[in-house]
A = this chain, B = another copy of it.
Amino acid sequence: MSDECVTLEGVREEFVAQWGVIGAQWGINRTMAQIHALLLTAAEAMSTDEVMEYLEISRGNAHTNLKDLVGWGLIRIITKKGERKEFFEAEKNVWEMFRRITRERKRREIDPALETLRKCRDATKSMKDRDAKVFYKQISELEDFVSFGSKMSDRVGSLQHGKAIKLAMKLLG
């Protein structure tokens, strides 16, 4: 970050921009990551128009990404009495945020991958030639590993933050 970012808004802008870059590397659309960063560090819930204005993006873009974030469970819709429009507020608890991201990625990406692995394993289970044996062995090991990891992530995700930390401390200690 350049040194002249001495105002809150300067630092925040830098954070939002960088979070977008980081998100993009993880296969998340940049705007979505930026909106998330913005709401995560907002003191109050924001409207679509405020998000549009801050990030200088179109209504359609703001709308789509806000709704996607709601779909991920990372932000929620707030309605204020007397106000007709919707406001958006981020889940601010970091542990909860982590759990939701993990749960969604598992559902959307790990589970289908496991499905593929299982099918490939079953289809080659009883093949006899060398290449098939190599293939079957490799796929089996991969499947065992991924499904083990998947179970672990369920287990960790079901812990309270405090318990998870304690457990992790034992691991690190």
Which label, helix, strand, loop or mixed, suits the secondary structure of the A interface? helix
Query: Are the CB atoms of B109 and A26 closer together than 8 Å?
Result: yes
Copies of the polypeptide in the assembly: 2
Query: Are the CB atoms of B98 and A11 closer together than 8 Å?
Result: no
Name the B residues within 8 Å of A129 (CB-CB).
Answer: 8
Query: Are the CB atoms of B109 and A139 closer together than 8 Å?
Result: no
A132 on interface, CB distance cutoff 8 Å: yes
A144 CA to B25 CA, complexed, in Å: 21
Query: Are the CB atoms of B41 and A139 closer together than 8 Å?
Result: yes
A57 on interface, CB distance cutoff 8 Å: no
A78 on interface, CB distance cutoff 8 Å: no
The chain B residue sitting closest to A142, CB to CB, is: B94
Contact with B along A8-50 (1 / 0, CB 8 A): 1001101100110010111110000000000011110000000
A14 CA to B122 CA, complexed, in Å: 13
